[in-house]
């Protein structure tokens, strides 16, 4: 028990620095998305593949920044959860597991965007064919569902579970718990919207996740 308290105290000590680092990485990833990745979503299928093939290095590192952002916010979420009383541990461990499943799927999505999609785009530029266009379209729809639907649903469910713990914790005000409920409800609605229209909303959902960082700093 003493080790548990000491471990929790050490994690809490690092909490502000992890939150700041995660926020900086997340903002950098959003900036790179606005500069480089918007071209991978806009226009016709051929225009998108041409853009990806022509800007392969920039696209690669932009998606890599999203992997770092995912890892950073996952670490921040873990440290934030560790600050709660041990009586909530079973529920919070379940929330963390669901979050990690979503984060792992998002990282897999980014790896595919960094490797398979550029290779497929370059091959299409060299040898255009309906078959390659069909493969690109199939990957595109799968990737939208991976991160836009599955990952974000995992984040929302995990966040809502932790919000339930917040409402039970007297140290956390109802205002902060209500703000938490709002954030994760927005993420869940974003996932439901993507599942309906099948369009990427990564920037919108990511801004919602970014709101989690300063809120977690107040709610720790």
Least confident of 97-106, 123-132, 146-155, 187-196: 187-196
R_g of the chain computed on alpha carbons: 19
Higher pLDDT, 93 or 15: 93
CA dist 216 and 220 (Å) reads 6
**Are 206 and 29 a contacting pair, CB within 8 Å?**
yes
206: closest CA among 192, 186, 220? Answer: 186
Residue 76: pLDDT band (50, 70, 90) is: confident
Rounded to two decimals, what is the model's pTM?
Answer: 0.86
2, pLDDT greater than 60: no
Higher pLDDT, 81 or 116: 116
The full length of the chain comes to: 220
- The pLDDT value given to residue 12: 57
Any idea where the domains of the chain sit in the sequence? 2-219
CA dist 132 and 125 (Å) reads 10
Residue 212: pLDDT band (50, 70, 90) is: low
Residue 9: pLDDT band (50, 70, 90) is: very low
1, pLDDT greater than 50: no
């Amino acid at each position: 028990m003493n080790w548990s308290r000491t471990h929790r105290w050490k994690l809490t000590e690092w909490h502000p620095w992890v939150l700041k680092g995660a926020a900086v990485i997340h903002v950098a990833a959003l900036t790179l998305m606005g500069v480089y990745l918007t071209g991978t979503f806009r226009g016709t299928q051929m225009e998108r593949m041409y853009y990806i093939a022509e800007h392969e290095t920039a696209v690669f590192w932009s998606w890599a920044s999203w992997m770092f952002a995912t890892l950073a916010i996952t670490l921040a979420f873990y440290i934030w959860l560790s600050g709660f009383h041990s009586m909530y541990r079973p529920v919070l461990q379940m929330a963390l597991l669901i979050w990690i499943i979503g984060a792992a799927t998002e990282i897999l999505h980014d790896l595919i965007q960094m490797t398979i999609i550029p290779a497929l785009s370059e091959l299409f530029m060299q040898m255009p064919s309906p078959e390659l266009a069909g493969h690109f379209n199939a990957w595109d729809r799968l990737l939208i569902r991976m991160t836009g639907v599955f990952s974000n649903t995992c984040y929302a469910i995990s966040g809502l579970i932790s919000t339930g713990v917040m409402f039970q914790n007297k140290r956390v005000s109802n205002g902060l718990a209500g703000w938490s409920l709002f954030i994760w409800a927005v993420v869940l609605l974003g996932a439901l919207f993507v599942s309906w229209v099948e369009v990427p909303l990564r920037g919108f959902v990511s801004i919602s996740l970014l709101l989690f960082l300063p809120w977690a700093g107040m709610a720790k």
